[in-house]
Structure 1
Amino acid sequence: MSDHDHVRHGRAGHGDHTGHAHGVSASADRRWLTVALALIGCFMAVEVAVGLISGSLALLADAAHMLTDAGSIVLALAAARLAARPARGSYTYGLKRAEVLSAQANGLTLLLLALWLGYESVRRLISPPEVEGALVVATALAGIVVNLAATWCISKANRTSLNVEGAFQHILNDLYAFIGTAIAGVIVLTTGFLRADAIAGLVVVLLMVKAGYGLLRAAGRVVLEAAPADTDPDAIGDHMAEQSHVAEIHDLHLWEITSGQPALSAHVLVDPGSDCHAIRRTLEELLKEDYDITHTTLQVDHLTAESEEGLLQIGRTADRPVPHGEEIHGPVHRPGPHTH
């Protein structure tokens, strides 16, 4: 068996990982998202009309938030169709990152709307207009019911998708906003304190900023090919290096093809005479069982005299040439005391 003979691209069944968790199909996702979109769209039109009639900024802010909710669902539906297209040509991963692009657009829209609504809220805090408290309360209570229904619909879809989870969080935050608006309406109705409406609008703004920033941050991690937020690449490398007959793990890269679809590649040096195929299978099983990483590319080589001598060097650094003539990128993981 040669020293440079093993480059493994995942498992034969790694494509299953790109499917929907918990048995939720893509068609079911689209169905639930479409129902939620219909609920949000219809109520949003009513809320805009009532907000203009009543003069309530809180209702208009809620309507703007619902517009972004609807937009996020539309983008999620479009991205789901693009992501379902098979990989071909220069798009070797297909268009799975379409959802990341739509999440970034959605997050940016949230932040821009929050900026405008924040300005309006401050202006109305300084000079509060008349607000029809009864209309605000009635509309907000109806909004709570609609958002509860929409939240339930989206919760039935696959929330490992960045888009679906983003839409879910949007509508959940909108539900909280409607509760705040209802409280503001009751305060205006019972006490005449008109600034309560503007304060409720500011609460909605804060929720929009939180949701927008969260989406941009999560999407940015995927675009920059950062490791999934809940994983530690160094810990994974150390765990791989602890396996029997593994001498070293280096050039370990962990990223997400799209949200919920991690991928890992690494160069593995093993003891001379050991079974490269068996060790590779062991490492793949470890990554699958312990870290739910099924899309792997592992290059496994036997430890040569040159590389073994390098392993014994004290104070070894990551820029020492490796057997295949390339430089090591990132931390080096070996059995025993870990080197990062």
Structure 2
Amino acid sequence: MSFKFTLHQLEYLVAVADEGSISAAATRAHATAGAVSMSLKELEQRLGVQLFIRRKAKAITLTAAGNRTLADARRILAAAEELQGSASTTQNDIAGTLSVGCYSTLAPFLIPPVLDEFAGKYPALTVQMIEGSADAVLDAIGDGRCEIGFLYKQDLPAGLECAVIRTSKPYVILADDHPLAVQREVKLADLADEPLIMFDVPSARNAAQLLESVGLTARIRHFSSNIEVVRSLVARGIGYSILVQQWPIDVSYEGLPIAARPIEDPTTEREVVLAWMSDTRLTRRAHALIDFCRLTFLDDPPDLVF
């Protein structure tokens, strides 16, 4: 079968998309600007589409067709790297580059062990992490910048597959001297008149919905997208909060004690997953990450402190 493109052309396409200019892409690819420009023009001619919009003295931008081609190019290059690596290593070796997206609120729990313990197991492997919102991670998976990404299962649109790597349930945090802190579990009804410090990120905004599910209305005292601000306000007794991921320490950023308590009412378990495009064949690198995360996170969530 004769292909209309070369891997070098795809590499130049990715480099220009990432760097924003022919000259910067050429530097990254260790080629001349003329060679990159000519190679991309030939790629456009062979594919029969315009990939870039070129404006004098402005950054080069991709067309809609260019963005679609870019996503495919990243996957083809990743597959080529996987083929080359698997051909030159033993079955147990994991090498090359693995790009992983991570929803920002999950990052403190997942990125450190991945970059330390997982990457440490495979000296020939380079792990690159992209942090951001759920939408940003989904975009990175969709356009091929990430092969796989950490997300909540509820955030996944159609067209993605996933592997569950961690489960957790919502819980309450209170000031350590709060009257409810002496209880092993807290009823949502007992919080009806208490001010809520809302962790203002999509994964945690269902705190108000959780209260509504038992006929209560949240009395929101403050919104913050910074988890340490939320925990510090709670530690000072300004209100309570409902979180999903269990913090491994029971003190605030200021060093004040915090009480974490399970919710007595029925709650829905939240699933953290590694997700990827359904039409993508995962590399051995990605499979190794899934296996590591299942072993590390799935059956060993941190305990709430009593």
Q: TM-score, normalised by structure 2?
A: 0.24
Q: Higher relative contact order by CA 8 Å / sep ≥ 6: 1 or 2?
A: 1
The structure with more radius of gyration:
1
The structure where helix makes up a greater share of residues is 1
Q: TM-score, normalised by structure 1?
A: 0.22
